[in-house]
Amino acid sequence: DAGITQSPRHKVTETGTPVTLRCHQTENHRYMYWYRQDPGHGLRLIHYSYGVKDTDKGEVSDGYSVSRSKTEDFLLTLESATSSQTSVYFCAISEGQGSYEQYFGPGTRLTVT
């Protein structure tokens, strides 16, 4: 299994509070991704990173920010959580683009009340 961990694995928070999710990898892969998984939508890309301090938006980036100060860590921040951000969040890593496989972490279940 690819060395990817996510923390926390479960979190319940209140509307309007900031939340940070962490993805940590031990594979030294260049690319890292944050997805959210919602029923009927599959997984949708929030943000991704192609190197330290290099990030870009995905299809559902509104309300989210990311940071990558080290190769191994990719942080996802909800500045002011809303109920619509209740979801399961998955981190993924990849050596490169093209047909390279993406390896997924175990997920974080976030509930915003």
Partner 1 sequence: GNSVTQMEGPVTLSEEAFLTINCTYTATGYPSLFWYVQYPGEGLQLLLKATKADDKGSNKGFEATYRKETTSFHLEKGSVQVSDSAVYFCALKGDAGGTSYGKLTFGQGTILTVHP
What residues numbered 61-80 form the site for partner 1, per CB under 8 A?
none
Tell me the C-alpha distance between 101 and 87, whole Å: 24
CA distance 5 to 11: 15
- Residue 110, helix vs strand vs coil: strand
Considering the complex, state which of residue 77 and residue 102 has its C-beta at the smaller distance from partner 1. Answer: 102
Closest CA to 87 of 60, 67, 58: 60
Q: Which of 12, 82, 106, 111 binds partner 1 (CB under 8 A)?
A: 106
- By CB under 8 A, which span of 17-25, 68-76, 77-85, 96-104 interacts with partner 1? 96-104
Q: Taking CB under 8 A as the rule, does residue 51 contact partner 1?
A: no
Measured CA to CA, the distance from residue 88 to residue 97 in angstroms comes to 24
Contacting residue, 45, 61, 71, 86, with partner 1 by CB under 8 A: 45
Task: Look up residue 12 and give its two tokens.
Answer: 């319940």
Question: Measured from the CB of residue 22, what is the shortest distance to partner 1 in angstroms?
Answer: 15
Residues at the contact surface with partner 1, assessed by CB under 8 A:
4, 31, 33, 40-45, 48, 58, 90, 92, 94, 96-107
